[in-house]
Structure formats: structure tokens, C-alpha cells
Amino acid sequence: MAGFCYSCGMSLMGPEGEKARGDYCQLCSDEQGNLRPKEQIQKGIAAWFSGWAPKGGSVDYMKRAEYYMKAMPAWAEE
């Protein structure tokens, strides 16, 4: 997954074409490059999913985010 965040799958390339340091994007890591808590990242992914979905319905985006995260290297071992 070189070039992609090990936590969420987002590209690690910045707007100027520079690669971020470490294995995590700026949304999944703190200022020191450490992975943020799982719950915080899961909420962000759930919000991202809900932004793509049509309005209405009873989709559990937190559950979908949980399943998605299991496919990411940072969370696969849980």
C-alpha cells in the first residue's frame, strides 16, 4: 500500500506531489505521526461514507466504517 494511508486508504501525496512522512495520513495521525485512536478514525470514515450516500434510509455508517477498517493494514490484526 505504498503511497496510501495504512489506516484509511487515503493518498499520502500532498498537493505539491510530496509524500507524507510515515504510514498514516494527516487525518489519521497526530503531529508526531502517531496513529490516532480507532474510535476517532472510525467516526471520520463514517462521516465520509455518509457524505457519499443518498439522504434518507437507515444505514449504520459506524458499522460500515468498522468493516472497511478491517481491510486496512493498521486495523487488520484486531
Dump pLDDT digits (tens) for 20-73: 678 999 899 998 889 999 999 999 999 999 988 777 677 899 999 999 999 999
Eight-class DSSP state of 20 = P
Q: Is residue 46 part of a domain?
A: yes
Point out which residues pair with 13 in neighbouring strands.
19
pTM for the full predicted model: 0.81
| Type and span of the H or E element at 11 | none
3-class SS of residue 19: strand
30 falls within a domain: no
Residue 24 CA to residue 3 CA, distance in Å, equals 10
Alpha helices in the chain (DSSP H): 38-52, 61-70
Cα–Cα dist 78/73, whole Å: 10
- Specify if 24 maps to a domain: no
- Does any domain span residue 52? yes
Q: Which domain holds residue 53?
A: 38-70
Structural domains counted in the chain: 1
